[in-house]
Amino acid sequence: MSPIINQTLQLADTCLILGQRNSEWCAHGPILEQDIAITNITLDLIGQARHFYQYAAELISKSENKTITEDALAYLRTERAFKNWLICELPNEDWAHTVLRQFFFSSFQLLLFEELEKNSDSQLSAIATKSIKEIKYHIKWSSEWVIRLGDGTEESNNRINKALQILWPYTGEFFMPADYEIISVGPLQEKWLLSIKEIFDEAGLTMPENIFMQSGGKSGIHTEHLGFILSELQYLQRAYPGAEW
C-alpha cells in the first residue's frame, strides 16, 4: 500500500485503540463529572478514527478496484496489520496512568496534527483541522489532572510517578519514523519535551533520563495486550459477519 494509505491507517488505528482503552472507564470514573469527561474524550478519539478509516477505505478501494469499508478496516484486520503506537494498548493501571497517558498522547498528537494540517492532501488536512479543536481540550483536561496528582497528596504523587515509570519508555516511539510516514516526526520531539516539562514543573515531577524506548507498533509488532483488545472490539463483527446497526 502507498505511504498515504499506511499513514492514514496508523492515525486511525492509534485513535481507535486508545479510544477503546479509555472506554473501559465508562461508568467507572472517580466522580461523575470526570466519568463524563473521559467518555467524551473517548468519543472524540473514535470519531477521529472513523474519519481516517473512511478516507483509508476510499483510497484502498480506488487502488485495489474493489469496495473496502471502514468496518472492514477496524474489525477484520489482525494484530500485525494494526499500526497504532504501543502506548495506546497498555492496560489501564489506575486513574493516574490513564490521565498521564492521555497527556503524553494528546501533547504529541497536537504537534503532529498541526503538521498534518499543512499537508497537501486536502482530506487529511481537513481531518486534522477539525480534530485540533478537540485535542486542545484533551490537553487542558489531562494536564490539569497531572498537576493535581503530582502536586497533591503523597498517595497521588506516588501514583503519578509510578505511571510515569511505566509510560515514559513508550513515548520515544512517537519520534521514531516509520518508512511510510509522510510527516517528519523527529523534529517534533524538542517541542513535545518542552510542553511536557512545563506541566511537570508545575506538578513537581521530574522527567526520566536515559531510558530505553520501546517501539514496534508502527510496523505491526505489538504487546500481548492488543490481541485481547481486538478480541473484544471485533467480536460482534466476526461472530455475525456483515452485521450493521
Quick one: pLDDT band at residue 73, thresholds 50, 70, 90?
Answer: very high
**What is the third-level CATH fold of 3-239?**
Ferritin (1.20.1260)
Residues 220 and 85: their CA atoms lie apart, in Å, by: 9
Mean pLDDT of 152-178: 97
In the predicted model, what is the mean pLDDT of the chain?
Answer: 95
- What does the pLDDT read at residue 233? 93
CA 170 to chain centre: 12
Nearest CA-CA partner of 80 in 241, 204, 221: 221
For 127-142, what is each residue's pLDDT tens digit? 999 999 999 999 999 9
Mean pLDDT of 81-94: 97
Backbone angles phi, psi at 180, to 5 degrees: -100, -10
- What does the pLDDT read at residue 29? 80
Residues 171 and 179: their CA atoms lie apart, in Å, by: 19
Residue 244 above 90 pLDDT? no
User: What residue spans of the chain are helical by DSSP H?
Assistant: 3-23, 32-64, 70-75, 95-116, 122-150, 154-167, 189-203, 225-233, 235-239
Residue 26 above 90 pLDDT? no
Cell triple for residue 139?
490537553
Q: If you compute the radius of gyration of the chain from its CA atoms, what whole number of angstroms results?
A: 18
- What does the pLDDT read at residue 241? 86
